[in-house]
Structure 1
Amino acid sequence: MQCILEKVHGPFSNFIRAQTTSSIFLLVATITALWWANSAYSAFYLELINTPIGFIVGDLEIRATFKHIINDGLMVIFFFSLV
C-alpha cells in the first residue's frame, strides 16, 4: 500500500504545484458559474450564493453569505497560491 501512495504522491504534488492548475480550476469554476447563473436553475444559484452561514461563540457572532466568503476568502487563497 505504501508503494502505491509513493507512486501517486509525486505526480499529484507536481500537478497541484503547477501554475496552470490554479488557472484551470478558476476557468472551470467560471464557466460552471456562468452556465448555472444563466440556466433554468438560476433561482437556485442565486438562493445558494446568498445563503447566510456562520457561527456563534458566546457573544461573538460571525455571519456571511457564500458570495462574501468566495469573494473575500477563497480569492485571497487563490491569489496567494500563485506566489
Structure 2
Amino acid sequence: MQTIKKTPIEKISKPIQSFIAQEKSGGIVLGISVILALILANSGWSASYHHFLENSFGFQWNGKSCFDFSLHHWINDGLMAVFFFVVGLELKREIVGCASLNFVPIKNRIYWHNLYSIGVLFLSALCGLL
C-alpha cells in the first residue's frame, strides 16, 4: 500500500480547515478575542492598544477619501451590524424551523410559534426600557 506524502502546506491547512468546519469554532475565536482584548485594555499596554484602535483607514476613489474611519468606528458600526444580522438569522431559523420544538405535535406548533414570537417581542422591549 502506497502512502501519499503530505506537502507542508497541507500539514498546516488541514487542522485549520477541520477547526473552521466545526460549528463551535466561531464562538471559540470570539471568546479568545474578548479575553485578549480585556487583557490588553487593562494592562500596561493599554495606551498602545487604544492608540492602535484610533488608526484610521478607508478607501480612495478618484483621489478622495471615502469611508475614512478609525478602527474603533469600523468595529462598532460595521462588525456589530454583521453580528446582529447573524443573530437575527439564527432567531429566524429557530422560529421558522422550530428546531427546539420538534417534540411538540404539528397542530400545536403554530401556538408555540406565536407564543415564542410574543415572548421575544416583550423581552426585547424590556431590554430597550432598561
- Say which structure is richer in strand: 1
Q: Same fold (TM over 0.5)?
A: yes
Structure 1 position 11, deviation (Å): 5.2
Structure 2 match to 1:71: 76
Structure 1 position 72, deviation (Å): 3.4
Structure 1 match to 2:24: 20
Q: Specify whether residues 38 and 12 from structure 1 end up closer, same or farther in structure 2 by C-alpha distance, changes over 3 A only.
A: closer
Structure 1 match to 2:34: 30
Structure label with greater radius of gyration: 2
> Percent identity among equivalent residues?
33
Q: Which runs of 5+ in 2 are unaligned?
A: 91-130
Structure 1 position 10, deviation (Å): 5.8
Whether 1:4 aligns to 2:2 is no
With normalisation by structure 2, the TM-score equals 0.48
Structure 2 match to 1:41: 45
Q: Relative contact order (C-alpha < 8 Å, sep 6+): which is higher?
A: 1
Structure 1 position 15, deviation (Å): 1.8
- SS across alignment from 1:19: coil
Task: Note the aligned Cα RMSD (angstroms).
Answer: 3.1
Q: Give CA-to-partner distance per residue, 1:47-68, whole Å, 9 cap, x none.
A: 1111111121114522111112
